[in-house]
Amino acid sequence: MAQFIAYDPNVEVSGAVILAAIAHLKAEIVPLLEKHEIFDVRPDKWYPLQAFLDVLKSINDGWSFASSAVDLMSIGMQIPENAMWPPNVDSVETALGSIDTAYHINHRGGEIGHYRIEFAEPHHIRMVCENPYPSDFDYGIIYRTVKKFAHKGQTFQVQRADSPSRLKGDDMCIYDIYFAD
């Protein structure tokens, strides 16, 4: 499936994910959430994933906010900044490896897909994202996670592979993360 289309119409996303994603937008996003029938977002409540994907699609399609330019990459970057991380997450590898667990904790009700890491070679991790979220949103999550957990002085680069890509209608996107010490 392509981006913005839930694999299963019964899947729900936790309010904690929505709140983390929109933390920097404050009250400005309320009309857009309500347009897609997401009301009174609370971290302990559940909301239809398709409705949240529709919000993201509206932003992708040009929904504008009065105070700032917003894109899906910047929204994705909010997730790692506002998420609770397990205490054992202390490196890029453990952080990227924990994304799939967190994803499954915060979604319920059917098939949601996966985030999978592969160790391609030294200083190279490949992240395979097979889920209905938009590619730029996933890029933001991955980039900010790597930045948050990179060791001091460590440089990195995150690249989206040309293929497969949800931007081209594929079921997944692949991101290559390269490190230098």
Q: Is the pLDDT of residue 147 over 60?
A: yes
What pLDDT, on a 0 to 100 scale, did the predictor assign at position 133? Answer: 96
The correct CATH number of 1-181 out of 1.10.1040.10, 3.40.50.720, 3.40.50.280, 3.90.1520.10 is 3.90.1520.10
Alpha-carbon span 111 to 171, nearest angstrom: 13
Say what the alpha-carbon torsion angle 71, 46, 34, 82 is, to the nearest 10 degrees: -40
State how far the Cα of 3 lies from the Cα of 114, in Å rounded to an integer: 13
- d(C-alpha 76, C-alpha 65), whole Å: 17
pTM, 2 dp:
0.93
Assess whether pLDDT exceeds 80 at residue 78. yes
Q: pLDDT at position 66, please?
A: 57
Average the pLDDT over each of 35-39, 121-125, 137-141 and give the range with the smallest value: 121-125
Q: Compute the average pLDDT of residues 95-112.
A: 95
Query: So where are the chain's domains?
Result: 1-181
